[in-house]
Copies of this chain bind each other. A is one copy, B any other.
Amino acid sequence: MITSGGTTMELAYVPRHTPYTLAPEDELNDLRMSEKVRPLYDHVKKFIAETVEPMSHEFEAAGEGNPNRWSFTDKQLEILGKAKNKAKDVGLWNFFLPDAETGEGLNNLDYAYIAAELGKAPLASEVMNCSAPDTGNMEVLERVGTAAQKEKWLKPLLNGEIRSAYVMTEPNVASSDAKNVSTSAKLDGDEWVINGEKYYISGLGDPRCKIMIVMVKTDPTAAPSKQQSQILVPVDTPGVEVIGPMHVFGHDHAPRGHMHMRFNNVRVPKENILLGEGRGFEISQLRLGPGRIHHCMRTIGKAEKALDMMVVRGLTRVAFGQKIAHLGGNMQIIAQARCEIEAMRLMVLKAAKAMDVLGNKEARVWVSMVKAMVPERACKIIDQAIQMHGATGISQWTPLAEMYTDVRHLRFADGPDEVHWMVVGRHELTL
């Protein structure tokens, strides 16, 4: 009955056309910094080495013994102010705004290279007025703010006089699904009345933080993507209650903090809404820009540092008669970390380039890929560095434990990995 041992049918396979297999000449494959930005890049590196790094030590010393953990000392503010003035003087100020009148017109790829340098010194971003969440907030205000809003809030932010917060995440719902936002804003006469609870509001503990951009639900009956709005709320508005700091693996990150807060019948003028009612989603797209690329480049910097530390440890520590770099699978762990870092770096540069070439909307799949890929793999590399350091790896003697908790945190900040993979997966299914 069986006549052949061979194939009886073959499933038809028609390759899909995918936009990923680019024409080789495509400019998306050119990941070099643009010529004109190189002097700025060199300047930033020099400024960090010569100005930011020395002042960072002074700044830290000036904060020691401060009885109020949720403040900076006068001395600290003075040191910081001086450095910021110097940055303004030499023209290293506000260059983060991509293609903006007020900024340097850096595109995302160029900024990615600079962000990698900014990430190496903790205070560099702040001194050059490029630190989150101010960058995203300024970008939003610059793009969609009214003249009055710009005058009142963008100007002092651009001047580095105040700081700001972005108020999105809620403790009681999965706010990565924006439909879930439950903080409400209802129009009452000429005022929005806001009620709700938010948490992990980074930087809201900082006494200089004066203004918040708040994601609220203005119309629960609208289409899902039209229910949300973003509203400007000054921090000192009555009814704004900062309950306390949320911890990150036990740290409160004073004095900046990631705060838990409540809006208790908070009233702001009608015109504080950004862009218009129901356009909260739309505004969110604008924030995608430099922020995520910046985070990813900084995270790669941390992975690089962890690898560096593995190597140094591996070559100086001896057990069972061998340098531990040569023990067991350690050399392979080191090699794979190098390979992951290079792959991550290329992917982030490509995502930045995609934003420049295709625009934020079309590039969102690339951004989601790196947002989901980079923190998870960096966590793994840092964890391996910890293991190679033994108990010292989780102690205060190395930066590894803090690096780990910071990067671990990024796996849900701005949407958990799972949501980003969903973005990528859904797109793949439509090709």
Contact = CB atoms under 8 A, between A and B. Distances in A.
Contacts of A16: 308, 311-312
Interface string A394-431: 11111101101100110111001110011111101101
15 contacts: A2-B244, A8-B243, A10-B397, A13-B309, A13-B312, A25-B32, A26-B32, A171-B397, A247-B396, A248-B395, A250-B251, A329-B329, A346-B346, A346-B347, A390-B412
B328 A397 contact: no
Interface of A: 1-11, 13-16, 18, 20-21, 24-27, 29-33, 35, 38, 41, 69-70, 110, 113, 116, 169, 171, 173-174, 176-177, 180, 199-200, 205, 241-252, 254, 257-260, 304-305, 307-309, 311-312, 314-315, 317-320, 324-325, 327-329, 331-332, 334-336, 338-339, 341-344, 346-347, 349-350, 369, 372-373, 386-387, 390-399, 401-402, 404-405, 408-409, 411-413, 416-418, 421-426, 428-429, 431
Instruction: Report, nearest first, the 9 A-B pairs whose CB atoms are least far apart.
Output: A329-B329, A331-B425, A24-B33, A174-B319, A335-B424, A335-B425, A346-B346, A24-B113, A335-B421
Nearest to A409: B394
A180 B320 CA distance: 8
Q: Give the copy number.
A: 4
Contact of A411 (B2, B319, B387): B387
Contact of A429 (B331, B372, B422): B331
A378 to B, nearest CB: 14
A25 B35 contact: yes
A253 B346 CA distance: 37
A244 to B, nearest CB: 4
A177 to B, nearest CB: 4
A249 B394 contact: yes
Given A249-B250, A335-B428, A373 B343 contact: yes
Contacts of A176: 319, 390
Given A312-B16, A373-B339, A425 B5 contact: no
A421 B336 contact: yes
B428 A311 contact: yes
Given A5-B254, A26-B32, A387-B416, 16 more contacts: A2-B70, A2-B259, A11-B392, A13-B399, A16-B311, A21-B304, A24-B41, A169-B391, A174-B317, A327-B418, A328-B328, A329-B332, A332-B421, A346-B347, A387-B411, A387-B412
A184 to B, nearest CB: 18
A319 B3 CA distance: 33
A234 B32 CA distance: 49
B422 A335 contact: yes
A55 B343 CA distance: 38
A96 to B, nearest CB: 16
Contacts of A399: 13
A346 B350 contact: yes
A133 to B, nearest CB: 15
B338 A347 contact: no
A245 B27 CA distance: 47
A69 B3 CA distance: 11
A30 B35 CA distance: 13
A294 B404 CA distance: 28
